[in-house]
Chains A and B, each alone.
Chain A
Amino acid sequence: MASRKKRAAKISEDSEEEQSRRQRLQAILLADSFATKLLPLTLERPNVLLPLVNVPMIDYTLAWLESAGIEEVFVFCSMQVIDYLNNSDWYSHKDFTVKTIESPQNSTSAGDALRYIYEQQIETSQIQGDFVLVNGCIVSNMPLTQLIQEHRDRKKKDEKAIMTMVIRQSLITDHQLFIAVNPLTKQLLYYDEDNICFDKSLLDRNPSVLLCSDMQDCYIDICSLEVLSLFVDNFDYQHMRCDFVEGVLADDIIGYKIFTHEISSCYASRIENFRSYDMVSKDIIQRRTFPYVPDMKFSGNRTLKLERQGIYKASDATQLPSAHVGASYVIGHATNIGSGTKILNSVIGNGCSIGSNVVIQGSYIWNNVTVEDGCEIRNAIVCDEVKVCAGAIVKPGVVLSFKVVVGRDFVVPAYSQVSLLRQPMEEDSDEENLLSGVDLQMESKLGLDGAGYIWRQACEDEWKHSVPPIPKDKLAEIIKAIDDDDTDDESVVTTSGDANTSINNDLFDFEREVDGTFLRAVEENIVADLAVLEINSLRLSYNMESAHCAGAIFYSMMKLAVSTPHSSINDLYRNASSIITRWKGLLGFYVKKSDEQIEVISRLEEMCEESAHELGTLFAHILRYMYEEENDLLQEVAILRWSDEKAGADESDKVYLKQCEPFITWLKETSDDEDG
């Protein structure tokens, strides 16, 4: 910003404006696969080089950036991508320069990448101003120049507007994203990927808030240079969204603002997992990404010819007349298809040979794949040079990574991921071990002459992220969950009266946490003051009153007393009193007011009710102990107020009141005496 001011001082307003107009339009493309959603494929090939309808994804992104008016793009990528770009014709374009930045070994996230770019930026200052940050493999056809201009104009008016984020409407079942936007200024107010829970002050500060749960983030951002320096300042930022965006929104000290831009008629989508891979492929076949469709030459790709019913076919592909091919299907160059084969809704790459009587449905077959006679492949991704031997069946959701061989008549179970590489274990990240190839024991896993390991599934909900359509029952579950969520949301957002359930939940969580903290304090024998600090931080994070803390701590203390082994009621009393003595500093911190003391008494009452035959008999004793021995942990005012309150209650509620009646009368008498 300093340089900006200096410049402004040097030259007049007009020429600065001109300069910004002449400024090259630049983009940063983060083409490194930081996500693990596309494993096991990304172990062998970076995700931007995976083919999407027979064209590497990076070509879609670069072609789009070029035609959107970007003049210079910095591709942050691994060596493999650089090799690919060197062999492509992307360097030969006249008004579009591609520069690669090789990602250093230690970068594991978008945050690291941007910090690295910033370091380089200090030396070379290659990024001159606002830039487009493209995060991963994006397929789009949206124009950018106007959007960048809008961003610049806004930035000129408001120095704090550092980023414009592109969003679009989308399916609800697809993902979970909640955003809140100011409908007039389009400022982003809230962003969360899994649940919705925002500060009420948000509503106070903004007269109108548009809350959407049907938006999809396109991961296309127009950023000012401040974004890079923010990443450097906050060196713990890892992800663009859950760290950076949420960080900026939460931090109202610097007051940076993020704006949104919603697109409707143009297309933008990001490939994050197998499911979005499937969706985007279908969008491409349906020509939503026009002009980046298989029958147009937009990069080094060879064009296919569009025939009826959305069938794209290469001129040199051969297909026997008895083969049945259905709608929406792409077949690549030099591919052969045998007789009696049925293919529906699928993409077949270049140089494949498909035998006869094969069924392929909803699948993605990449290049040079051999499928022998009588196989069945449904909703699967089959990578380069895979061989599926005769009679094998590939169930829905399967991913067959590079060069895997599926043995004769073998059935690959649904949702399994098969790779020649072993699954990296969490405990040992030993790279050599990974690349050790095939061993005999594993071969049997894929049938007689198969080769490859079936990976263990990491998460339960793989159906959510893989190619086949979501099963009906799961879909019903999701919809139900969303409905439930909706009712929850209403209760949180609208009236505080209905919010009891959620507060109760909070209280329950809080008490559990306090209990845990207390037990740990006892185990590790921590000083009471430190325990106070811990409980205080809990109290702040749950936004609880000190009465709740007192109640919770006392509850934990009594629970500990009851759970310590004891032979008689007297033993129990001794336990309880010693615990109270030991931790009076902790409890005392929270029971300074009579309200809090009453809370403690009623908690004691509750607990006594729960275990009437043990603790119940001790109610009066414990009360008295806390009054007399322990320096007025409970004060008589509180005890008397409690008894007054209880006096009007039902008979059944008065059990403990009666038990300590003598104590209370004595208290009353002494206080009367003092008054007198």
Chain B
Amino acid sequence: MDVPTTVSTALEDRPVSGAVCLEAGAGVGNTTAGLLAAGASRVYAVTNDAAHAKAVSERVARAEPDRTAVLEADLRSLPLADDSVEIITAHGLFNVLPPESLDAVVGEFRRVASPGCHLVVDDYEPLPSDAAIRELFALENATSELARGRPALTFYPADVVRRLFVGDGWTFDREWTLLDPVPWTENHVRAHANVARSFASKLPDELGDQLAADADRLETAIGSESVGEMYSIAFQYPE
């Protein structure tokens, strides 16, 4: 599997080789693959989504069974011991964490971090106000709020993430721009429209149909758009 350049860049100055790693919010396994390629001794790939756990197992873990453990678990209460990991990665995780989950997740990171542990948080800056794709994300959030009472996406500025972890005892190390602009391709736009449509299908018919039609319209109208910024922030926990 090709490791995305966003992942390989974010990891390139981290001492991954030989380290025990926590990949927080494993998605479909891009960062798990990046950590393994960079020589991690063990990667705990944690996700609360069963389909993602399966995807990571099939795409990545199967080829590296001795170095990978895919855990279907909640980041707010990790099934890992205190002081047990040397690298934590959160690549594209924070934008799917609603504000009320932040405190518990940050607390768990600190608990499992061993002294000297490295933390890498890669995520998106809030989009500029004239970005066309904002409307699709707004629809995604609206349908998500209506269907399950929380937003689908929250874009935390790099400065906020930095203060959050520094406030919790981590030392800031560096901040990089991974993508500028961020290429939201037709595939991404379709995937986000699919999320909105799937939440819409859980709503009362009339409202749901209306919002699903909006998703169709926005998918076509936006097509693809390169806009915004993706950042990478690295921290270290004091020895």
Q: Do A and B come from one complex?
A: no
Chain B residues in the interface with A (C-beta under 8 A)? none
